Amino acid sequence: MSKSKVKEVRRLESLKTYDIIDSPDEQSYDELTRLAATLCQMPVSFISFIDEDKQWFKSFYGLNIKQTPKEDSFCKFTISQNRDFLEVTDTFNDNRFINNPFVQQKESPIRYYFGMKLYDKKQNVLGTLCVVDFKPNSLSASRKQSMRYLANQVMNLLELRKSLQSLQHIKKSLEQKNKELKQFANQVSHDIKMPLANIVLTIDLLKAKYQENIDDTGKQYLDYLKSSGLKLSAYTERVLSYYAREEDAQNEMEIVDFNYLLEDIIDLLQINQPCEINIPEKNTEILTNKVLLEQILLNLLGNSLKYNDKSKIVIDINIKEDDFNYLITVTDNGMGIAKNKQKDVFKLFFTEEKPDRNGNKGTGIGLPTVQKLVKQLGGNVCLESEENKYTSVSFTLKKVIDNGI
Summarised one tens digit per residue, pLDDT across range 244-281 is: 544 555 567 889 999 999 998 998 887 888 999 999 99
Q: Can you give the CATH number for the domain in which 123 is found?
A: 3.30.450.40
The model's confidence at residue 405, banded by pLDDT at 50, 70 and 90, is: very low
- Looking at the fold, whether 150 and 10 belong to one and the same domain comes out as yes
What local confidence, expressed as pLDDT, does residue 221 receive?
Answer: 84
What is the reported pLDDT for 246? 46
238 confidence band (pLDDT: 50, 70, 90): low
Residue 195 resides in a domain: no
Residues 118-128 have a mean pLDDT of: 94
Answer with the one of 168, 183, 214 that is the final residue of a domain. Answer: 168
Residue 120 near residue 31 (C-beta atoms within 8 A): no
160 and 258 both lie in a single domain: no
Find which of 4-13, 108-117, 193-202 is predicted with most confidence, using mean pLDDT: 108-117
Overall average pLDDT of the 186-196 stretch: 73
Q: Is residue 236 part of a domain?
A: no
List phi, psi (to 5°) of 324: -120, -25
- d(CA 30, CA 62) in angstroms, rounded, equals 11
Q: Please tell me the predicted confidence (pLDDT) of residue 340.
A: 83
Residue 276 to residues 142, 203, 259, 265, 282, Cα–Cα distance (Å): 80, 29, 15, 14, 18
Supply the range of the domain harboring residue 336.
254-398
Alpha-carbon span 314 to 323, nearest angstrom: 30
8 and 145 fall within a common domain:
yes
Looking at residues 184-198, what average pLDDT do you find?
74
Confidence of residue 242 (pLDDT cuts 50, 70, 90): low
Average pLDDT, the chain: 87
Q: Identify the weakest region by mean pLDDT among 104-113, 189-198, 245-254, 363-372.
A: 245-254
Q: Are 78 and 117 in contact (CB under 8 A)?
A: yes
Q: Tell whether 158 and 273 lie within a shared domain.
A: no
The answer to whether residues 142 and 291 belong to one domain is no
Return the pLDDT at 353: 65
Select from 126, 128, 114, 118 the least CA-distant residue to 7: 126
pLDDT at position 120: 94
On whether both 266 and 378 belong to a single domain, the answer is yes
User: Among 52-61, 102-111, 247-256, 391-400, which is the least confidently predicted range?
Assistant: 247-256
What band does 194 get if pLDDT is binned at 50, 70 and 90?
A: confident
Alpha-carbon gap, residue 224 to 75, rounded angstroms: 82
Whether the CB-CB separation of 97 and 88 falls below 8 Å is answered with yes
**Residue 185 placed within a domain:** no
Q: Which of 92-96, 106-110, 189-193, 319-323 has the lowest mean pLDDT?
A: 189-193
**Mean pLDDT of the 136-142 span:** 96
More confident site: 275 or 365: 275
* Mean pLDDT value of segment 67-78: 92
How far CA 305 is from CA of 27, 282, 309, 339, in Å, comes to: 61, 24, 9, 21
Q: Is position 214 within any domain? A: no
Total structural domains in the chain? 2
In a domain, 298, yes or no: yes
Last residue of a domain, which of 125, 152, 168? 168
List the single range of 276-285, 352-361, 373-382 with lowest mean pLDDT: 352-361
Which of 108, 141, 168 lies at the terminal end of a domain, its last residue?
168
Q: How would residue 354 be classed by pLDDT, with cut points 50, 70 and 90?
A: confident
234-253 mean pLDDT:
59
In a domain, 74, yes or no: yes
Confidence of residue 404 (pLDDT cuts 50, 70, 90): very low
Question: Looking at the predicted structure, is the pLDDT value of residue 237 above 70?
Answer: no
Instruction: Assign residue 356 the CATH number of its domain.
Output: 3.30.565.10
What is the three-class DSSP state of 344? helix
The predicted model gives 58-71 an average pLDDT of 91
| Residue 336 pLDDT exceeds 60 | yes
Domain-located, residue 181: no
| pLDDT, greater one: 170 or 362 | 170
Q: What share of the chain in percent tops pLDDT 90? A: 53
